[in-house]
Amino acid sequence: MLGLIILGILIFLALFVIVIYNRLVVLRNRVENAWAQIDVQLKRRYDLIPNLVETVKGYASHEKEIFDKIALYRAQMMSAKTPGEIAQADQGLTSTLKTLFAIVENYPDLKANQNFLMLQEELSGIEEKIAYARQFYNDIVMIYNQSLQVFPNSLIANIFGFKPKEYFEVENSEERKAVKVSF
């Protein structure tokens, strides 16, 4: 009788560990999937930017500095490995694209160019998808990291080597400042 009770307790503990382990695996996979979705959108933007730059170059060829910065940040985006590195390169690229669109304001013919307008609209849509994917990724990372920290999950996570994931954060204080609007 005592042997059956001990066997029952061991089976219960084994099932308990299996359930927690599987939940952690599912959450880790969701984090990796969310990261892959960000990566897909960044790749779409990465592929679109050369077309946009070439269209603008035809009108504003003397704006070489901005084109060089875009090329630099594109290269950094592709060589970045961690969410922090990608966030830093993305931040620089986003800032430089804002500058590019500010320059476009000086070229009325370019602003009316159908190809440019189409590329600008597509880039705007991609930026919205990137913002959504970042938010979704950070939400999933929060759930995963919390799961690693609560008891008894933390014991099982340590035993099986689960590590916290990095958030996709904006590092530049310029991006965090309040927007000033004046009329």
| C-alpha dihedral, 53 to 93 to 136 to 120, nearest 10° | -30
CA angle 63, 65, 68 (to 5 degrees): 115
Cα gap 136→33, rounded to integer Å: 10
pTM of the model as a whole = 0.75
The 10s digit of each residue's pLDDT in 32-56 is 999 999 989 988 888 888 888 888 8
Cα gap 40→126, rounded to integer Å: 10
Which residues of the chain register pLDDT less than 70?
A: 61-62, 111, 170-183
Q: Answer positive or negative: Cα dihedral of 15, 20, 21, 26.
A: positive
Domains of the chain: 17-169 (1.20.1440.20)
The 10s digit of each residue's pLDDT in 145-173 is 999 999 999 999 999 999 999 998 866 54
Q: Is the peptide bond before 152 cis (omega within 30 degrees of 0)?
A: yes
